[in-house]
Amino acid sequence: MNDIEQKVINVLKFISPKDLENVTYARYGCPNDGGYVMLADEVKGGIAYSLGIGDNVSWDLAMADQGYLVYQYDHSIKDTPVKNKNFIFNCKGVSNKVIDQFTTIENILKQNNHLDKTDLLLKCDIEGSEWDAFYKIKDSILNCFSNIVIELHWFNALGEDAVFYNKVYNVLQKFNELFVPYHVHANNFSKKSVNVHGRIVPAVLELSYVKKNKYKVKANSNRTFPTPVDMPNSIKKKDWNLGNFQW
């Protein structure tokens, strides 16, 4: 194993999914791209944030059906593609500073008077901007969320750029300190991948997190990914086979 492979593995260890005791995994959103696996017991109404929606609000609709008020953020569209009484749309992108069409997660929570919350849901698919948005984010801001589903991009570039590597390491280490990753799925729209010590890691991964200490973690993970509740993002391609994704 070379030094680059070891550095990549050090990152992947942060997102190795854990098996949780006494939980039910369920998929929310459309059958393919736009749907996410979550813990059924955690979806019980409240406030949700959907960062990056484009023309697909199937997760948002699923949350609205479960009694959530969904705050939507996307600077690339003028309005939500589907109207719903539980949607609050904002034509803003999310990054690491407030400038032009972009804002920060901290600023969003402040504007919506949610800085005192600890049980918000978050869905994030902002096409690679997640690394800037979450880089050096305060613990107090992350602690406003109890559950996070997020699409993470560019794992294929971890060994190519030291600055990018350090940013990814920082973000995933921070997540790992506060949350437990319990599910991983690869987006098969992307053809890119990286070979890590004989194992293929796709460029784009969807991760599901729950706040630490809410559930007991099993000693060993027996699941392989994709799981029976997963579906490929593109129906024209087979799902990526990730095995148990333990590093």
pLDDT in tens, 149-179: 999 999 999 999 999 999 999 999 999 999 9
Q: Is 174 helix (H, G, I), strand (E, B) or coil?
A: helix
Going along the chain, which residue ranges are E strands?
A: 25-28, 36-39, 46-51, 68-73, 87-90, 93-94, 102-103, 120-124, 145-152, 179-186, 193-196, 199-202, 205-211
Rounded Cα distance, 97 and 182, in Å: 30
In a domain, residue 222? The reply is no
In a domain, residue 106? The reply is yes
Rounded Cα distance, 155 and 152, in Å: 8
Rounded Cα distance, 93 and 54, in Å: 11
The model's pLDDT over 99-144, given as tens digits with 9 standing for 90+, comes to 999 999 999 999 999 999 999 999 999 999 999 999 989 999 999 9
Domain span at residue 137? 3-211
The CATH number for 30's domain is 3.40.50
Rounded Cα distance, 76 and 66, in Å: 27
Residue 233 pLDDT: 96
Q: What is the pTM of this model?
A: 0.97
The model's pLDDT over 88-105, given as tens digits with 9 standing for 90+, comes to 999 999 999 999 999 999
When mean pLDDT is compared across 2-6, 17-21, 44-48, 83-87, the lowest value belongs to 2-6
Residue 247 pLDDT: 95
In a domain, residue 177? The reply is yes
The model's pLDDT over 17-31, given as tens digits with 9 standing for 90+, comes to 999 999 999 999 998
The model's pLDDT over 49-70, given as tens digits with 9 standing for 90+, comes to 999 999 999 999 999 999 999 9
Q: How confident is the model at residue 220 (pLDDT cuts 50, 70, 90)?
A: confident
Please check whether residue 57 is in contact with residue 80, taking contact to mean a CB–CB distance below 8 angstroms: yes
Kindly state the percentage of the chain with pLDDT values over 90: 94
Q: How far is CA 93 from CA 8, 50, 105, 157, in A?
A: 29, 11, 10, 23
Residue 2 pLDDT: 85
Please check whether residue 18 is in contact with residue 218, taking contact to mean a CB–CB distance below 8 angstroms: yes
In a domain, residue 245? The reply is no
Q: Which phi and psi angles does 147 have, rounded to 5°?
A: -140, 140
In a domain, residue 55? The reply is yes
Q: How many CB atoms lie within 10 A of CB 55?
A: 11
Rounded Cα distance, 108 and 130, in Å: 15
Query: Domain tally for the chain?
Result: 1
State the maximum Cα–Cα separation within the chain, in Å, rounded to a whole number. 54
In a domain, residue 111? The reply is yes
Token representation of residue 211: 């706040």
Rounded Cα distance, 105 and 94, in Å: 7
CB under 8 A, 24+ apart: contacts of 95-98: 95/129, 95/132, 95/133, 96/132, 96/133, 96/135, 96/136
Token representation of residue 75: 């600077």
